Amino acid sequence: MAEAGPEDSTASAIAILRGSESPNIGGVSVVSEGSAAISLSRGGFKKRYSHTDPNEDAAAFALGEAGVLLAVADGHNGCDAAEMTLDELVSRAGRLLTRGGNATGEWWAEVALETLGAIQTRLVSRIEQGVRGHSRTTLALALILPSEDLLAFASVGDSHIFRVCPNEVVDLGSQSAGRLCFLGNPADDLTELARNGVVAVEPIADTRAVILATDGISEAGIGVDVPEFTIAECVAGADHLAPELRPLELARNVCEAALAAHRRHRAGDNIATAVSCLLPRKNAAADTR
């Protein structure tokens, strides 16, 4: 885990798991700190489709005074775009994990689009410089600010953002009705990405957990049949643990559920998750770390 540098002083802890460092089928890497955790696996079975690298997914979290930043990325045509995207994102963690009562829907729309634009510019510039291939990526990110009662999120592509409440699990990342597009595709400018992606906010309210996952959990013929039901089971499987242990167990549970589905189907995919377990609202003012 990398500690924040002086240029990003409001992010107290940052962790990234990279597909290029997790090449083994069946292996699961997990990192946890405070209320956040990430997990990553190449998958539970070998891929049956054409691909560039064994593991092209990545996951990250950042913790700060104001809350938690979560992100997952599903690379295509190589792991480069996914890993570069999360590097760029966590470099901005301090600005995203802001405190001061200015975290509104309007603020998030501006900041999210600026962040997506910066990532897209960096990825396209790398392609134009002739660096390996035309790697591209999905991105799902969530910003949890308990003191502001704000869950801000954005998604480009088909990765998931599950909001877990006492009686339901909702995939916030599936709200877009537009065509599937990816960061790093030179044909997609920021206007196109915004039109076909999701950028929105919700009150935290009774949210118990926020879980991000790449489509290794849901891909037809590879993943689970009903992702929301599987996510609910994974949350229930971590409920018996002490609060400080739940994020790690939950991240591992989601990853292992995907791997079990891959083995049943005898067809694999990479899977990355990022989770945060929230305290009850009466304790929401407490330090999220």
Cβ–Cβ under 8 Å, residues 250 and 37: yes
Average pLDDT for consecutive 10-residue bins of the chain (289 residues)? 44 92 96 97 94 95 94 95 96 82 85 95 78 82 94 95 96 73 89 91 96 97 97 96 96 98 97 92 46
- Domains: count for the chain: 1
The pLDDT of residue 128 is 63
Closest CA to 165 of 196, 133, 204: 204
246, part of any domain: yes
Q: Give domain status of residue 16, yes or no.
A: yes
- Residue 5's pLDDT is what? 41
Which has the closest alpha carbon to 156: 198, 186, 192?
A: 198
Nearest to 236 by CA among 246, 245, 226: 246
Contact yes or no for 146/67 (Cβ under 8 A):
yes
For the domain that residue 103 is a member of, what is the CATH number? 3.60.40.10
Residue 288 in domain: no
For 257, the domain range is: 6-283
pLDDT for the residue numbered 7? 45
Asked whether residue 289 is assigned to any structural domain, the reply reads no
The Cα 67–Cα 81 span in angstroms is 26
pTM of structure = 0.91
What pLDDT does residue 96 have? Answer: 86
Question: Are 159 and 136 within 8 A, CB to CB?
Answer: no
Residue 263 lies in a domain: yes
Return the pLDDT at 187. 85
CA atoms 98, 96, 113, 175: torsion sign: negative
SS (H, E, C) the chain: CECCCHHHCCEEEEEEEEHHHCCCCCCCEEEEECCEEEEEECCCCCECCCCCCCCCEEEEEEEECCCEEEEEEEEECCCHHHHHHHHHHHCCHHHHCCCCCCCCHHHHHHHHHHHHHHHHHHHHHHHHCCCCCCCEECEEEEEEEHHHCEEEEEEECCCEEEEEECCEEEEHHHCCCCCCCCECCCCCCHHHHHHHCEEEEECCCCCCEEEEECHHHCCCCCCCCCHHHHHHHHHHHHCCCCCCCHHHHHHHHHHHHHHHHHHHHCCECCEEEEEEECCCHHHCCCCCC
